[in-house]
Structure 1
Amino acid sequence: MIPKIEQASIQDIKAFQEEKLSELLMYLNENSAYYKRVFLEYNIDVNTIKSLEDLVKIPTTTKDQLQQFNDDFLCVPKNKIIDYVTTSGTLGNPVTFALTDNDLERLAYNEAISFACAGVSENDVLQLMTTIDRRFMAGLAYFLGVRKLGAGIIRVGAGIPELQWDSILKFKPTYLIVVPSFLLKLIEYAEQNDIDVNTSGIKGAICIGESLREQDFSMNVLSKKIKEKWDIELYSTYASTEMETAFTECSEKQGGHQHPELIIVEILDENNNPVNEGEEGELVITTLGVEAMPLLRFKTGDILKTHTTPCTCGRNTMRLGPIVGRKKHMIKYKGTTLYPPALNNVLNDFIEVENFVIEIYQNTIGTDGIRLKIATSVNPSEELKQNIKDHFRAKLRVSPEIEFHDKKIIEKLQFPKMSRKPMVVIDLRI
């Protein structure tokens, strides 16, 4: 189930996207109060934007603008809206997104071809381990996509290893949709209850919210720990509410494939200029085919690289590499620049670390500080604290503050009121 456009030549994909871009600009100029103002303010004639290279003539859209002028992005009358979702609010106040019936159909198409990219077929059954309620787009998208693909789905929701295993053993799903660190909790429960994970019938996991790979696509510490115990295929998928589109790995696991019929991608530097091939920068997206709230040159805040060599899976689409980090979460620590995912990788080296949050704060001299709050599976000790600090010095040349806390305290920090997914990074600077 590979759409023809994804197997087309690079030139044909570009020409296709430029045609879709022209249609989008005309649509926004007619229906979007926000973008009408932008075009007027910057004296932009949408008819002069002919190529993807011309996009630089249009200012970017930021999360702050989306929050401040939320309703002005709506392009349809309210009676056309079928579903309302909100962003998770990781980097500020949540933003409301409205979806029409056509948008829900587009969402279903996106997830169907994304699942197919990871090898899922109509003969599979998927167990959904994320919430489908609380205005969360992802859970709804997964359900719609599985339905469109013709596969089966078991909506269990997040957490509770006992309930997850009850469903796995009863209904025999073949794939899991899951945050990868939760797979370690499933493995732990299975070991404690004499369940053989490798005879459970699970072939693979579509992993969300956490990275599985290093920048060269080799397995990171988290995926290695999972694979040591559970011989299943692990596929990364990356998406956001604003995109209404996913980038999912294929069998080659060399980055998440772009669906060019659904999204235009740019990678920009700090001055909003395109980076050179192979350089990391901020992902900026333009949505195609969205009816209610399309976005033009929206800055996601995620730092990554793209990969454009043809993939042996048969797709010629651009691929996104693993997320380096979020731009707003960049830490400048005693001359070293780093992002929280690098800290995650180091902590995942320790089997004693059961759960954690990373706090970034501004210290008394006005520079960035890092505080790790950790729950352990053993009695915390000065020796363990020193081992963790030494490991950080060796791997990242930093020595963060470390505090040991009860597991319930860490869970409370990770799941503040109204949260739908764990917050591992708490940035106290913003």
Structure 2
Amino acid sequence: MVDSAQPRDLLRFATAGSVDDGKSTLVGRLLYDTKSVLADQIEAVERASVDKGMSTPDLSLLVDGLRAEREQGITIDVAYRYFGTPTREFVLADTPGHVQYTRNTVTGASTAELAVLLVDARNGVVSQTRRHAAVLSLLRVPRLVLAINKIDLIDHDQAKIADIEREFTDLTRSLGFPDDAVQVIPVSALVGDNVAFRSERTPWYTGPTLLEHLESVPVEGPDAGAPFRMPVQYVIRPRHGGGSRSADASLGDLHDYRGYAGQVASGTVRPGDEVVVLPEGHRTTVSEVRTADGPLGAAGAGLSITVLLADDIDAPRGALIAAASDVPEVTSEIDATLCWLAEKPLVPGARLLLKHGTRTTQVIVGQLGSRLDTETVSYAAGPEKLEINDIGRVSLRVADALPVDEYARVRATGGFLLVDPPTGNTLAAGLVGDPLAAVPAAG
């Protein structure tokens, strides 16, 4: 019997930063130095760099194609890059730097276990740095790297870099990041200082290179240690008679069963665990955990499985199977924090759809409690509406009671989407509770 409780050695991380801070060059440098691009792509970049009169390859050209697509309005808001080293595999979400696209940081960082936030060493911490740091804290990204880029343009000035580090540390502390979750690395993406290889030009820096840090941070999804949660995606029932192999064929000679298929959203499940099926609240025990390859001794967050229960309980699509020892709240009144993504403002009384796990229900927007000022990192009370890119506290009433957790505790079941009923477009990313509870009110 296989034990699949441990996550794969794969790190999902996001990059963020202001326009012209060198994010594309940094991504290109990581791809170049890890030999994750084809030889003909490198040759094309080198030729183009020579044509531009550059003595150093312009590695931003490795990713500028997708940037051009964004500027043309094509629906690629976040570019995903895949690369690896002998130590680890990586999925990189490269988010736009323009202020008007701050909302897309929500998309890129929503599943990240780490975020790399760039600043230009000449400018230090700017308003967009504060906005991105606030969003990353709101989304409970566990680890944060400040890459102080373009240190070659300030002659590797240790004192200036130390000043930027102090200002950024003050900011991250105010946002609730523990000191040991934040790493500051001085880099030059253009020439490669401290990106994949240690720079001789910064002998005073004794920390890891960016790649060393990415390879060594613990790889454990934010919900791996959380209580077990699995939204039911599909109910598998036995089929009798001839015909092709059915979806339940892997269950062999079992004829009297009902299996519940879905992806483990958080925690771990094992045969013998006591669980509760929500929102109804029926309690039972897990009798078997399976995949197409056979039974498992355990299944952890991110794995798609079929669960068999000891009792014949109705658990339709949209139900949530959860650990009986730690049950989420079932409620029709939700206090939440919204990241508003749409051009049309949100106003009280709006009737929308709310998608939570595998369930979609109607929702009415109630009071708008406050709006986060991401420049001052403080809340202002009583907004009349939420505009695009705004982050605000709201109250919601849903038509069907939902089993929800505080987002700060369980990201998977504490997150939801608000959807426009006529078009199906996503309007907002929602977080149950107030992940930025420590942020002060505006003075």
* TM-score of the superposed pair, with normalisation by structure 2: 0.23
Normalized per residue, the structure richer in strand is: 2
Q: Which has the larger radius of gyration?
A: 2
Calculate the TM-score normalised by the size of structure 1: 0.24
